[in-house]
Chains A and B, each alone.
Chain A
Amino acid sequence: MATEAATLSPVHAITGAIDVDLHPAVPDMAALLPHMHPHWAEQMVVRGIDALESVMWKATMPITARPDFRGPPGTQPGQSLERLRAQALDGFGTAIGICNPLWGTAALFNEDMASELCRAMNTWLAREWLDREPRLRGAITVAPHAPDQAAAEIERCAADPRFVSVLLPAMTEMPLGRRSHRPIFAAAEKHGLAVTIHAGGQYRHPPTVTGWGSFHAEDHAAQANIFQAQVLSLVYEGVFVDHPSLRVVLLDAGIGWLPSFLWRANKTWRGLRAEVPWVKRSPSDIVREHIRFSLQPLQGPPDAQGMERLLEHIAADHMLLFSTDYPHWRFEGQAAVPPQIPARLLPALLRENALETYPRLRPSDRPRAALPEGVNRPAP
């Protein structure tokens, strides 16, 4: 193992990358009031709703912000454009960064309030971030439990080409593949927007299906199971049959769980596929065509050899998209691409995969690149 470790480059050079997961923070509700319908702006004030603190990404928790990314006391990690520009963009030589603000707007029970706060946050993102920094692109945050309003918001924001994706939480009221959610995917596909799903979410259900855990450590590890459930739902409900050009990106999902999950999914499909006859290919083939994964947090083998095997299992040449997850605490120093990732993956990982996944990042409407090799190989 010592010789393998010696062959690892300590820090991969990553200049010119596309970072698909940056988290600019809403400082407080006051920041959104100018962008809100007067009814809702007044409701926020008279009801004293001054913030939507996240359970998953509580500002004081270490994982929420790397110490040097945290910013002055009393501010939300990620709320300063100047810091994000210096640390996440200049700091890694990033060419394009996609903003995925994680605030509780999509989690509110009231469909109208949730939808209006999502609208306000999307407008805030355009005015406060995209207008001020040309390297930034935005995700359209929508409330999945209000699918018609979500689709309307996608239509509204899609007029602005700097919005390149739709942001959904991983933890939802109902699995995302259920047909009631279809307007969201239809609108995203129509406008060439990737659908991204970020860890955490609405907390309508415990993060595990056996009930509430006691510890935050459980919540974070359980996210892998949540992503698995969403992938199964998207595949088996036939979202990719109805929307064949759709790309879904799992953000903050990790990849270490993928091989065993895909083997298991393929095995059950072979025996039970008559139940879902529209699923004509194995789940692993469908995942490889339609689903992508952000790099950080990687949650894979710590050594180069183990990583090679994992990457081979999941045909990762086209599956991984560079991300820093800024300002979350995922790595130290400049090691945004973990050293055990082989250098041959870098061109695809840093840029090409993102260009293939997010059509709006492409300079023109050139046809989608042919599927990379490995997509149609026999399932594991």
Chain B
Amino acid sequence: MARHVVMRAAELPAGESRVVTVRGREIAVFNLAGEFFALINRCPHEGAPLGLGLRIGLSESNKPGCYSHSRPGELVRCPWHGWEFDIRTGQSWCEPSRLKARAYAATRETGGALVKGLYVAESVKVAVEEEYVVVEV
């Protein structure tokens, strides 16, 4: 595992996602209200690009006709078959014990902190005063 600087944090506004390639692997990076998360860009069902999926909230109910809605934008709906995945964990809603999109640790860090440690920045130039998204792959 190595820490990869994949983009400047400012490039990915809250609520948006972007696909990056790290060590030949496509990874979908999500910004949830300033927190960053990364999932493999491949649905565990049949391989659809999760980064293209619609961002939705969690609909739940304990009684027919009664609806609750929470965690807006924190699930991604696979663009092919509509399966829902938790962006924070990669777990599928329907089969949480069986189906998971691989999740990678993603953090927001300043260039100043980065230059003190080990990191890989293949395509991103790191400046001390900027903030970056770092994904561990």
Which of A's residues lie within 8 Å of B, judged by CB?
179, 237-238, 241-242, 267, 269-274, 277-278, 282, 378-379
Contacts and interface: CB of A to CB of B under 8 A. Distances in A.
Contacts of B78: 271
A278 B56 CA distance: 17
Contacts of A238: 63-65
Interface stretch (B20-28, B33-41, B81-89, B111-119): B81-89
A271 B82 contact: yes
A378 B56 CA distance: 26
B62 interface: yes
B66 to A, nearest CB: 8
B81 to A, nearest CB: 5
B53 to A, nearest CB: 12
A49 to B, nearest CB: 39
Contacts of B82: 270-272
B81 A278 contact: no
Contacts of B95: 270, 378-379
A177 to B, nearest CB: 9
Interface string B57-82: 00111111111100000000010011
Interface residues of B, number: 20
Contacts of B93: 273
The 5 closest A-B pairs by CB, nearest first: A238-B64, A271-B82, A277-B61, A278-B61, A277-B59
22 contacts: A179-B64, A237-B64, A238-B63, A238-B64, A238-B65, A241-B62, A242-B64, A270-B83, A270-B94, A271-B81, A271-B82, A272-B82, A273-B94, A274-B84, A277-B59, A277-B60, A277-B68, A278-B62, A278-B63, A278-B64, A282-B94, A379-B95
A378 B98 contact: yes
A179 B65 contact: yes
Contacts of A273: 84, 93-94
Contacts of B62: 241, 278
Given A270-B83, A271-B82, 19 more contacts: A179-B64, A237-B64, A238-B64, A241-B63, A241-B64, A242-B63, A242-B64, A270-B94, A270-B95, A271-B83, A272-B82, A274-B56, A274-B59, A277-B68, A278-B62, A278-B64, A278-B66, A282-B94, A378-B98
- Main secondary structure on A side of the interface with B: helix
B43 to A, nearest CB: 11
Contact of A269 (B64, B66, B94): B94
A303 to B, nearest CB: 32
Contacts of A267: 81
B103 to A, nearest CB: 20
Nearest to A281: B94
B96 to A, nearest CB: 11
Nearest to A267: B81
Contacts of B63: 238, 241-242, 278
A379 B98 CA distance: 11
A176 to B, nearest CB: 14
Nearest to A266: B94
A362 to B, nearest CB: 29
B67 A277 contact: yes
B64 A270 contact: no
Nearest to B98: A378
A237 B63 CA distance: 10
Contacts of A379: 95
Most B CB contacts (10 A, CB to CB) among A238, A242, A379 go to A238
